[in-house]
Amino acid sequence: MAVAREWGPTSGFLFETPVTETYRAVGAVMKGDVGETVKYGARAIGAWSGGYPPLQVVQTVEGGWNLATGDTDDFRELIWSKYALGKKKGKKRGTETGRGF
């Protein structure tokens, strides 16, 4: 069974996504944020490997992490990102805005 390759450039530059995810992972390491390091590290590995692990696996793990740590109580984040759900991060925890579903 073939795995769909979900990672790809968002514009014309071929390596934009892997470089962006790697930059975010390194930034998280520099800040000492373990959760963000794992998140962006997995995303960088997926982007550089061409889709292994698939993006949906990373999104589901990230949503599970957010539920487990209390960053969210929205189970839809196991499938979709905050961006896809129309949520924007506020400056304080718990100040997210959404579409109202």
What pTM did the predictor assign?
0.57
Q: Tens of pLDDT along the chain (101 residues)? A: 444 445 454 444 556 788 888 999 999 999 999 888 888 888 888 888 877 777 788 888 888 988 998 988 999 999 988 888 887 665 455 555 555 54
66: which 2 tokens? Answer: 């957010």
What's the pLDDT at 101? 45
Count Cβ atoms within 10 A of the Cβ of residue 58 and give its class: 0-12 exposed, 13-18 middle, 19 or more buried: buried
Whether the ω angle into residue 9 lies within 30 degrees of 0, i.e. cis, is no
Residue with tokens 């390194």: 26
What DSSP character marks residue 2?
P
Which pLDDT score, from 0 to 100, does residue 1 have? 43
